[in-house]
């Protein structure tokens, strides 16, 4: 089975200024193709550490994917170093140069400077992979039977180059099949799930592994099968079917998709629409829903009523109720949900008001207290939740919980079946 | 100077299902304390790879920070492996056990299962670091003068343990000072900036390094100084001052803070409020603003009008204009901005309507076309932008551009000075 290592280069990764999303994306692409990523390594912009990484990781893997260190500015030392490492000579590539000229003249519409022209210089012993989304080309080297591919660190550019590379890699490597089946549960913890699945786990064949991936009140459970025998895929499907039966009470979806996509599908299947009324989440629920392409088919819009005044002016929440009961109260979220439904003429609604922290908590209503209302015209339910995290995580878990409440409401709504 | 390596453990990191945010966070903590992170390594949940990483990274660094592999489910093999590696014996820790009992009884309010009790088992040769935010304790080992610290992979729990650890690490290590000064620019590319700064870069002393960190139409520029000489900090400040002068036209902030924090501060200083009216960004601008603690001081709320109907019902956009000009048009964003200001009684507004992709583009208005309006009552300006990325990135760059337009408008508003 082909083994890969991902090397990311950049001081910004080592001082904690930038999160490495490239490795995540590259790893998922390689895995889908049946290439096993065995390690990921990040090193700084200095020659010794980059050389050590090339030597060490080259000894461990068949394919070494490198991102970063190829931008136009002078903190970049990677390209000359790769050139020397693979024993080549720098030379200007006419295709890359023409492409850079085109980008500056037609797309960026700004003057080209000397350092942009230098980006067309490549080692003469690599295969150049054109970067249609930027100026720094990809480079494909071979050394002692190993493949080394260097790509820029800008995610969008790297992803374009990976699209070119994947078919080439599949051709060059003898690939073992890796299959993943993933489901999503909500409302129950990792340990309880693991206890429910004790026998299931013990009876798994050695070529199928299980993993629990908890996040924001949800747990994803993944079964992974490795091997080329055609029986393996069938066996994985059988086990996954059994897994879904065992967890049916807590199952959100049997695909590797987020909560917001599941809610979107439920609405689309029923030809219904939704809206939100948000205080403490500040538009985060609305944002999650609209990250899904095609959300306009079922999403009308939202009222983000962050201030007392906005709750009163936009959603007619009684000022006396706001003062007497507080913005984080059953009466307020119920009224927010009702008014949002009325104004936006949507079929379903979810409304939230809470205290996300770090400030704003009281003895009565500590940070993490959230009231949610969800439902449809004439049938709106309110619940209180208490979360116990920091601001960012409280927002995330509140949004997921709100969407899960709505999901269950839609599923239970016998007047609006598919 | 003390060197650190971060090892993250988990198959989910190698198949691309989870992005490693822990390393970013840990790296920033260590850097602030003057500990240099020289590498980050991610390995899977298997004994051989974990052992190899311990051996290899232990040889390179003074401190080895390990996260992941300590959860209650059976895909975790790290703890017994660490116990064996450091030559200890597993034993139940009474303090950890009491804490787990407390969590399940008082906080989680659900039954404890056998595997939760087992989380109190720790190697007898480590110093236990209590995890007040979860069940898996941290463990501090020493071997051949090196410090190894194992922490759970749940970010919030890991962060709590790091808070305990940092003062202990500072005490144990002889630390060189690392200083970072970072500023943020917008509206101009990395190469142009680098060209403007050619002389500046060439004249930097060897102990000060410069780095360009581009993201979403913005570029952060970071100066880093290393060394214990008290002159170094003064020299860094002088160079940073000069850098700000050279870039004054494009400067957003001279702190390491996001655009939304800068806009928030401008409003707070002027005692003014803002609101948004969003179509294509679906609440993302509103979400960014409310990620900043204390945003309620200057943020009223938003209208998220995703559908034609919502634009008409909530913001009185003429149905005929929507049909004749399209939702992505100057007339529509101007009306959205005007109505949002009126309804929410805020001082400033920003409104956006665009096509984020992948669907919805036309020859006239391709994916990435965005109309923005920003300003205040009686003075609203509209501009069109064309971005050229995927849905996610178009949303992000649109939100940042909108906030930057508003920022410049507020700064130029001589009727509302500080």
Does B91 share its domain with B159? yes
Instruction: Mutate one of B304, B344, B389 to test the A interface: name it (highest A CB count within 10 A).
Output: B304
Question: Scanning every residue of chain B, which has its alpha carbon at the shortest distance from the alpha carbon of A50?
Answer: B39
Residue A74 has pLDDT above 70, yes or no: no
What is residue B120's three-state secondary structure?
A: helix
Residue A368 has pLDDT above 90, yes or no: yes
Residue in the block written with tokens 């609203």:
B380
Of A23, A191, A313, the CB nearest to B72: A191
pLDDT tens digit sequence for A293-339: 999 999 999 999 999 999 999 999 999 999 999 999 999 999 999 99
Confidence of residue A390 (pLDDT cuts 50, 70, 90): confident
Does B231 share its domain with B273? no
Confidence of residue A111 (pLDDT cuts 50, 70, 90): confident
Residue B417 lies inside a defined structural domain of this protein: no
The CATH number of whichever domain residue A342 belongs to comes to 3.90.950.20
Whole-angstrom distance, CA of residue A403 vs CA of residue A167: 38
Question: Scanning every residue of chain A, which has its alpha carbon at the shortest distance from the alpha carbon of B35?
Answer: A15
Of A27, A220, A303, the CB nearest to B16: A27
A260: which DSSP letter? H
Q: Are A343 and B310 in contact (CB under 8 A)?
A: no
Q: How far is CA A410 from the centre of its chain?
A: 25
Domain boundary, last residue among A144, A172, A200? A172
What is residue A380's three-state secondary structure?
A: strand
On the CB side of B337, CA atoms within 13 Å amount to 28
Torsion angles phi and psi, residue A90, rounded to 5: -75, 140
Query: Who contacts B306 (Cβ-Cβ below 8 Å, separation ≥6)?
Result: A290, A295, A296, A299, A300, A301, A302, B279, B282
| A160, B99, B361 from A229: Cα distances, Å | 33, 47, 44
- pTM: predicted TM-score of the whole model, two decimal places: 0.84
Cα of B332 to nearest chain A Cα, Å: 16
Are the beta carbons of A24 and B16 separated by less than 8 Å?
Answer: yes
Does A189 share its domain with A210? yes
Residue A151 has pLDDT above 90, yes or no: yes
Does B75 share its domain with B94? yes
Residue A408 lies inside a defined structural domain of this protein: yes
Domain boundary, last residue among A238, A253, A268? A253
B390, B393, B399, B400: CA torsion to nearest 10: -130
Question: Would you state the pLDDT for residue B73?
Answer: 65
Q: Spell out the SS3 assignment of A7-61.
A: EEECHHHHCCCCCCHHHHHHHHHHHHCCCEEEEEEEECCCHHHHHHHHHHHHHHC
Q: Are B291 and B281 in contact (CB under 8 A)?
A: no
Are the beta carbons of B37 and A16 separated by less than 8 Å?
Answer: yes
| A4, A64, A221, B15, B200 from A159: Cα distances, Å | 17, 16, 27, 16, 33
Does A373 share its domain with A265? yes
Does B369 share its domain with B337? yes
Does A283 share its domain with A303? yes
Question: Would you state the pLDDT for residue A107?
Answer: 75
Kind and range of the H or E element at B299?
A: strand B299-305
Of B25, B114, B156, the CB nearest to A389: B156
Show the low-confidence residues of chain B (pLDDT under 70): 72-76
Query: Who contacts A391 (Cβ-Cβ below 8 Å, separation ≥6)?
Result: A356, A357, A358, B291, B293
Domain span holding position A21:
3-172
Percent of chain A with pLDDT over 90: 77
Residue B139 lies inside a defined structural domain of this protein: yes
Cα of A339 to nearest chain B Cα, Å: 12
Are the beta carbons of B39 and A23 separated by less than 8 Å?
Answer: no
Question: Would you state the pLDDT for residue A8?
Answer: 97
Does B15 share its domain with B152? yes
Question: Would you state the pLDDT for residue B213?
Answer: 81
What is residue B56's three-state secondary structure?
A: helix
B105: which DSSP letter? I
Structural domain total, chain A? 3
Average pLDDT estimate for A222-234? 90
Confidence of residue A413 (pLDDT cuts 50, 70, 90): very high
What tokens does B260 get? Answer: 């939304």
Question: Would you state the pLDDT for residue A22?
Answer: 95
Residue A417 lies inside a defined structural domain of this protein: no
Residue A348 lies inside a defined structural domain of this protein: yes
Question: Would you state the pLDDT for residue B74?
Answer: 52
Q: Which of B342, B237, B221, B333 is nearest to B285 (CA)?
A: B333
The CATH number of whichever domain residue A193 belongs to comes to 3.30.70.2860
Q: Are B371 and B329 in contact (CB under 8 A)?
A: yes
The CATH number of whichever domain residue A65 belongs to comes to 3.40.980.10
Whole-angstrom distance, CA of residue A20 vs CA of residue A295: 28
Q: Which of B417, B61, B80, B60 is nearest to B269 (CA)?
A: B417
Residue B276 lies inside a defined structural domain of this protein: yes
Does A290 share its domain with A242? no
On the CB side of A409, CA atoms within 13 Å amount to 23
Strand order from edge to edge, sheet including A274-278? A379-386, A369-376, A348-354, A274-278, A299-305, B299-305, B274-278, B348-354, B369-376, B379-386
A388: which DSSP letter? -
Does A226 share its domain with A267? no
Q: Are A310 and A339 in contact (CB under 8 A)?
A: no
Residue A109 lies inside a defined structural domain of this protein: yes
Residue B45 lies inside a defined structural domain of this protein: yes
Average pLDDT for chain A: 93
Are the beta carbons of B290 and A302 separated by less than 8 Å?
Answer: no
Question: Would you state the pLDDT for residue A75?
Answer: 55
Does A202 share its domain with A307? no
- Residue B320 has a CB neighbour count (10 Å cut-off) of 8
Residue A102 has pLDDT above 70, yes or no: yes
Instruction: Mutate one of B38, B57, B73 to test the A interface: name it (highest A CB count within 10 A).
Output: B73
Domain boundary, last residue among B172, B190, B222? B172
| A44, A194, B303 from B37: Cα distances, Å | 9, 36, 44
Does A216 share its domain with A354? no
């Amino acid at each position: 089975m082909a083994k890969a290592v991902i090397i990311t280069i950049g001081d910004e990764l080592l001082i904690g200024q930038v999160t490495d999303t490239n490795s995540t994306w590259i790893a998922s692409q390689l895995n889908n193709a049946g290439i096993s990523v065995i390690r990921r390594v990040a090193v700084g912009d200095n020659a010794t550490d980059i050389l050590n990484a090339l030597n060490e990781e080259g000894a461990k893997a068949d394919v070494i994917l490198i991102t970063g260190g190829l931008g136009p500015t002078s903190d970049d030392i990677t390209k000359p170093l790769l050139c020397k490492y693979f024993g080549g000579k720098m030379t200007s590539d006419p295709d890359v140069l023409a492409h850079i000229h085109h980008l500056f003249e037609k797309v960026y519409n700004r003057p080209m400077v000397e350092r942009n022209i230098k980006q067309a210089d490549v080692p003469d012993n690599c295969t150049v992979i054109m970067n249609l989304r930027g100026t720094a080309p990809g480079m494909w080297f071979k050394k002692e039977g190993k493949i080394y591919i260097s790509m820029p660190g800008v995610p969008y550019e790297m992803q374009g180059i990976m699209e070119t590379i994947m078919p080439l890699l599949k051709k060059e490597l003898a690939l073992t099949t890796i299959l993943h089946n993933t489901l999503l549960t909500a409302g129950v913890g990792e340990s309880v799930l693991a206890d429910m699945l004790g026998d299931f786990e013990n009876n798994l064949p050695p070529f199928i592994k299980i993993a629990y991936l908890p996040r924001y009140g949800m747990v994803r459970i993944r079964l992974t099968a490795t091997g080329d025998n055609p029986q393996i895929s069938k066996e994985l499907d059988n086990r996954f079917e059994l897994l879904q039966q065992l967890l049916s009470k807590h199952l959100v979806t049997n695909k590797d998709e987020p909560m917001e996509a599941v809610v979107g599908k439920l609405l689309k299947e029923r030809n219904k629409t939704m809206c939100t009324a948000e205080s403490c989440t500040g538009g985060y629920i609305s944002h999650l829903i609209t990250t899904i392409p095609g959300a306009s088919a079922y999403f009308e819009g939202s009222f983000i009523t962050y201030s007392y005044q906005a709750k009163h002016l936009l959603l007619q929440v009684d000022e006396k109720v706001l003062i007497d009961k507080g913005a984080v109260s059953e009466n307020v979220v119920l009224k927010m949900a009702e008014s949002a439904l009325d104004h936006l003429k949507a079929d379903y609604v979810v409304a939230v008001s809470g205290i996300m922290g770090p400030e704003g908590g009281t003895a009565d209503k500590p940070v993490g207290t959230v009231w949610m209302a969800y439902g449809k015209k004439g049938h709106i339910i309110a619940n209180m939740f208490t979360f116990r995290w920091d601001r960012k995580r409280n927002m995330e878990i509140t949004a997921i919980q709100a969407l899960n409440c709505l999901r269950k409401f839609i599923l239970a709504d016998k007047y609006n079946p598919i």
